[in-house]
């Protein structure tokens, strides 16, 4: 679907990442009054921007030996009014 809200940032430069590292960040977003009633997924992912983010793509999420996509739904949000 089309994103209703989005936050793009990671306060840890990728050059400093090491295997096994964990990163915890809080992201706040507001659902606009114009958002239609319905169910919305909250998903996370990591993407690469080789030259510009217009040409970027999501990095694969691997569970075991299987690629399960390029984003992971972490919660469902229900807009009721």
pLDDT per residue as tens digits for the range 7-42: 888 788 888 889 999 988 888 888 888 889 999 999
Q: Is the pLDDT of residue 1 over 80?
A: no
Length of the chain: 81
pLDDT 10s digits, 38-56: 999 999 888 887 776 776 7
List Cβ neighbours of 74 (8 Å cut-off, separation of 6 or more).
42, 43, 44
Distance of alpha carbon 33 from alpha carbon 4, whole angstroms:
11
């Amino acid at each position: 679907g089309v994103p209703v809200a989005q936050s793009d940032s990671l306060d840890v430069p990728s050059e400093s990442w090491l295997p096994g590292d964990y990163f915890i960040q809080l992201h706040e977003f507001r659902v606009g009054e114009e958002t239609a009633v319905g169910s919305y997924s909250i998903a996370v992912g990591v993407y690469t921007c080789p030259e510009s983010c217009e040409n970027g793509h999501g990095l694969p999420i691997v569970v075991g030996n299987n690629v399960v996509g390029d984003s992971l739904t972490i919660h469902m949000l229900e807009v009721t009014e």
